[in-house]
């Protein structure tokens, strides 16, 4: 009797929570939603009814597997065009946008109407976020009150291109790890996976006509530690770290992605970032008197500041060498045949041209083609690559550097150095994907560097949430969408990769799917905290740095150190100590700028929400704060 009473109380409380909450706990926030009365409780036996469409049926089968495994239900899927009754019914309505859907949850069952198979898939993703967090548990079956709120959701995306870039060149992620990455991104309605397949540290794609690219270019000396501080490998040192995807691996990944409505965009980064290719085929460079090997993380590109850089080693393909274009024709022939995507990304970024300036072949090319500077030399190269890609029936995309010296006809631009390049390209009526580093580089610091894994710049969660792919005054018809990037120089493991991506990836998801006017920082944080519970259940790593304070070190009127602290999230209290013990909520709360007690060496801080510790304890050396304030 007691257990029956407890179950009734649980049901009542669940209904009350859904009834009282005006915020749907879903990321990205939908176009509109309306709560109804009551809730839908999963019966012991469930029928999922789908149209006779292979992709929709596969969506139904994956949902069925989840309900069987986690909820312990008996589930069958019926794929039929005949009218029949079911607990979950999937329907196509062509009047709805192709990726749009209508989700209707009532006490009698669930109906998902999509404009196409993708719309039904996204409706299922929204519905799954309305289940208890244990729906994604690694422990099964889970004893749970399996209920859904009565609600009607109308939804469709703002942009067609909702991308994530995964760098598999600097650190190799296995085929299964890429599949897992796809499964995570589609939960939040991303539909484009940009694979950075080629860089100085590895060539990750089998090209059958050029076998050395994977025999040599896919492997490097193993190093562990701080990226950029590694010693240069000796020529005879074993090259044991790396890997690559066979063309069959790629076909398997493409099929996996297609069933989840994800397009995979391949990137072959040229003419810079080409050391793996040059190590494999040294005749492709202008500097043939050097010895090349795949970079293991030792520094050879130097960044003095102000966006300038130079290289101590030639990592470029030679634009004046006809063998390079023969090489690229072979590469893009196989890439185009393998990947069905409309675009091939050719990189084009961070190409150091100092070695070209010393090349007689490049000098002769400039005279012959009447090229006045190195930007025009790179533009010459990019335009030739564009013609090669077009000859394979594909469109070319590149980072915004491909605009320098003149943009190739028909080329699309991925704007990473802020929004400026994308704005100029869109104004010139070229297609653009916005991926600006100040909003969308999720491999950067997401809190104070003193408490985060090492990198080189910062994107806080609230900054990531400000991302709008359409700059003021730009015609939106030229903005394909937006994308966040996860470069992997410093990402050694999947756990590290997940920590950098989540929750900032949630901010990008909302920026590229949801209507601009629906975005709300306070509401977003509540939904992020709800998603964190689901990450815990799924054993997906994530960062809690959004709770940590920012430190602002200044000189006061007397030239002494003054410390201010702020938080991204309202309603938090910062507690601190100078006494070398770990503070808790019984330690002083920060209310005004702090002065440092004489001889204190460290400021320790932690954030609380009421009685709950939400941030990590951070140890900030006073010497570091004095340095930031410019005090010697």
Mean pLDDT of the chain, nearest integer: 94
Enclosing H/E stretch for 434: strand 432-434
Same domain, 75 and 98: yes
Contact between 58 and 48 (Cβ < 8 Å): no
Q: Looking at residue 286, what is its pLDDT?
A: 95
- pLDDT at 71 > cutoff 50: yes
Nearest to 103 by CA among 45, 46, 40, 41: 40
Q: pLDDT at position 82, please?
A: 67
pLDDT range class, residue 11, cuts 50, 70, 90: very low
| Pair (242, 355) in one structural domain | yes
Of the pLDDT bands very low, low, confident and very high (cuts 50, 70, 90), residue 223 is very high
First to last CA, the chain: 73
Element (H, E) at 494: helix 494-501
64, 191: one domain: no
Decide if 507 is inside a domain: no
The reply to whether 297 falls in a domain is yes
**CB distance 431 to 418 below 8 Å:** no
Q: How far does CA 188 lie from the centroid of its chain?
A: 11
Q: Which residues are part of the catalytic machinery?
A: 199, 273, 350
pLDDT tens digits along 487-529:
999 999 999 999 999 999 999 999 999 999 999 999 999 999 9
Q: How many C-beta neighbours within 10 Å does residue 371 have?
A: 18
Please identify which residue in the block is written with the tokens 């598999």: 168
Residue 220 domain flag: yes
Domain CATH number, residue 552:
2.60.40
pLDDT value of residue 420: 97
Tell me the per-residue pLDDT of 576-605, one tens digit each, with 9 for 90 and over. Answer: 999 999 999 999 999 999 999 999 999 999
The CATH number given to whatever domain includes residue 296 is 3.20.20.80
Cα angle at 262 between 257 and 266, to 5 degrees? 85
Sign of the four-CA dihedral 317, 323, 329, 334: negative
Residues 150 and 166 in one domain: no
Question: Angle CA(270)–CA(276)–CA(278) in degrees, nearest 5?
Answer: 75
Task: For residue 543, tell me if it sits in a domain.
Answer: no
Are residues 325 and 411 part of one domain?
yes
What one-character DSSP code corresponds to residue 604?
A: E
Other C-beta atoms closer than 10 Å to the C-beta of 610 total 10
Domain harbouring 49, CATH code: 3.30.379.10
Among candidate residues 129, 99, 128, 127, the one with its CA nearest the CA of residue 114: 99
What is the model's pTM?
0.95
Please state at what angle helix 117-130 crosses helix 54-69, rounded to 10 degrees. Answer: 20
Please state, as a whole number, how many other Cβ atoms lie within 10 Å of the Cβ of residue 138: 11
Tokens 């539909």 belong to which residue?
191
pLDDT at 14: 42
Q: In this structure, are strands 602-609 and 612-613 parallel, antiparallel, or unpaired? A: antiparallel
278 found inside a domain: yes
> Do residue 46 and residue 183 come from a single domain?
no
Please choose, from the candidates 114, 15, 103, the residue with its C-alpha nearest in 3D space to the C-alpha of residue 55.
Answer: 114
Residue 360 lies in a domain: yes
Is pLDDT above 80 for 111?
yes
Task: Specify whether 188 is located in the same domain as 98.
Answer: no
Count the neighbouring beta carbons within 10 Å of the beta carbon of residue 143: 8
Residue 17 in this model has a pLDDT that exceeds 60: no
Residues 119 and 236 in one domain: no
Q: How much helix, strand and coil, in percent to the nearest 5, is found in the chain? A: 35, 25, 40
Mean pLDDT of 294-323: 92
Q: Taking each helix axis from N to C terminus, what angle separates 247-258 and 322-338, rounded to the nearest 10 degrees? A: 40
Q: At what angle do helices 374-391 and 360-369 cross, to 10 degrees?
A: 80
pLDDT tens per residue across span 612-629: 999 999 999 999 999 999
Q: Angle at the Cα of 154 (from 152 to 157), degrees rounded to 5? A: 150
Residues 249-259, mean pLDDT to the nearest whole number: 98
CB atoms within 10 A of CB 226: 11
- Element (DSSP H or E) covering residue 92: strand 88-92
Same domain, 147 and 237: no
Inform me whether the pLDDT recorded for 104 exceeds 60. Answer: yes
In a domain, 76, yes or no: yes
- Identify any residues that bridge with 114 across adjacent strands, giving them in sequence order: 92, 101
Whether the per-residue pLDDT at 408 is higher than 80: the answer is yes
| Domain count of the fold of the chain | 3
Q: 557 in a domain, yes or no? A: yes
Tell whether the model's pLDDT for residue 237 goes beyond 90: yes
Same domain for 311 and 344, yes or no, is yes
**What are the Cα distances from residue 401, in Å, to 348, 389, 412, 423?**
6, 18, 12, 13
Residues 340 and 210 in one domain: yes
* Domain of residue 400, residue span: 161-421+494-501
d(CA 33, CA 542): 28
* Nearest alpha-carbon partner for 188 in 517, 507, 442, 468: 507
pLDDT at res. 387: 98
Domain identity same for 214 and 311 = yes
């Amino acid at each position: 009797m007691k257990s029956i009473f407890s179950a009734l109380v649980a049901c009542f409380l669940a209904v009350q929570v859904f009834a009282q909450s005006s915020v749907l706990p879903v990321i990205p926030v939908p176009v509109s939603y309306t709560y109804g009365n009551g809730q839908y409780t999963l019966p012991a036996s469930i029928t999922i009814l789908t149209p006779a469409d292979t992709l929709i049926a596969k969506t139904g089968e994956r949902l069925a597997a989840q309900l069987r495994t986690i909820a312990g239900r008996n589930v069958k899927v019926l794929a039929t065009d005949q009218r029949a009754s079911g607990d979950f019914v999937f329907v196509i309505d062509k009047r709805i946008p192709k990726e749009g859907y209508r989700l209707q949850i009532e006490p009698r069952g669930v109906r998902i109407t999509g404009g196409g198979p993708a719309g039904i898939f996204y409706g299922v993703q929204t519905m799954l976020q309305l289940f208890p967090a244990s729906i994604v548990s690694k422990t099964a079956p889970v004893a749970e009150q399996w209920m859904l709120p009565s609600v009607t959701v109308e939804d469709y995306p703002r942009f067609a291109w909702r991308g994530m870039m995964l760098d598999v060149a600097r650190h190799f992620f296995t085929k299964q790890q890429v599949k897992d990455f796809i499964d995570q991104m589609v939960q939040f309605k991303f539909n484009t996976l940009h694979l950075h397949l080629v860089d100085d540290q590895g060539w990750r794609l089998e090209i059958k006509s050029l076998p050395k690219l994977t025999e040599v270019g896919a492997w490097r000396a193993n190093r562990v530690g701080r990226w950029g501080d590694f010693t240069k490998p000796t020529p005879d040192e074993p090259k044991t770290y790396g890997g690559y995807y066979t063309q069959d691996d790629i076909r398997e990944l493409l099929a996996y992605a297609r069933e989840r409505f994800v397009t995979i965009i391949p990137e072959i980064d040229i003419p810079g970032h080409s050391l793996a290719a040059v190590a494999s085929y040294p005749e492709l460079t202008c500097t043939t008197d050097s010895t090349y090997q795949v970079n293991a993380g030792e520094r050879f590109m130097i960044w003095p500041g102000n966006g300038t850089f130079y290289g101590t080693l030639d990592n470029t393909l030679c634009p004046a060498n006809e063998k390079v274009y023969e090489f690229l024709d072979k590469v893009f022939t196989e890439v185009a045949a393998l990947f069905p995507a409309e675009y091939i990304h050719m990189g084009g970024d961070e190409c150091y041209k100092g070695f070209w300036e010393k090349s007689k072949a490049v000098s002769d090319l400039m005279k012959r083609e009447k090229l006045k500077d190195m930007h025009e030399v790179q533009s010459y190269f990019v335009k030739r690559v564009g013609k090669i890609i077009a000859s394979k029936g594909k469109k070319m995309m590149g980072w915004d550097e491909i605009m320098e010296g003149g943009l190739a006809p028909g080329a699309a631009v991925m704007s990473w150095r802020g929004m400026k390049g994308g704005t100029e390209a869109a104004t010139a009526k070229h297609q653009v994907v916005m991926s600006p580093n100040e909003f969308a580089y999720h491999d950067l610091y997401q809190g104070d560097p003193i408490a985060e894994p090492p990198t080189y710049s910062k994107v806080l969660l609230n900054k990531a949430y400000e991302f709008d792919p359409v700059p003021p005054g730009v015609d939106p018809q030229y903005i394909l969408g937006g994308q966040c990037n996860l470069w992997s120089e410093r990402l050694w493991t999947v756990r590290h990769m997940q920590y950098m991506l989540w929750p900032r990836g949630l901010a990008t998801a909302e920026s590229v799917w949801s209507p601009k006017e629906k975005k709300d920082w306070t509401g977003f944080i509540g939904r992020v905290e709800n998603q964190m519970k689901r990450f815990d259940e799924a054993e997906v790593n994530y960062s809690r740095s959004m709770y940590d304070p920012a430190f602002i070190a200044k000189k006061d009127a007397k030239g002494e150190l003054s410390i201010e602290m702020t938080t991204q999230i309202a309603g938090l209290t910062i507690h601190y100590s100078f006494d070398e013990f770990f503070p808790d909520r019984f330690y002083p709360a920060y209310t005004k700028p702090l002065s440092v007690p004489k001889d204190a060496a460290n400021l320790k801080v932690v954030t609380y929400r009421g009685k709950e510790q939400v941030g990590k304890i951070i140890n900030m050396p006073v010497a570091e704060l004095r340095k930031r304030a410019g005090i010697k």
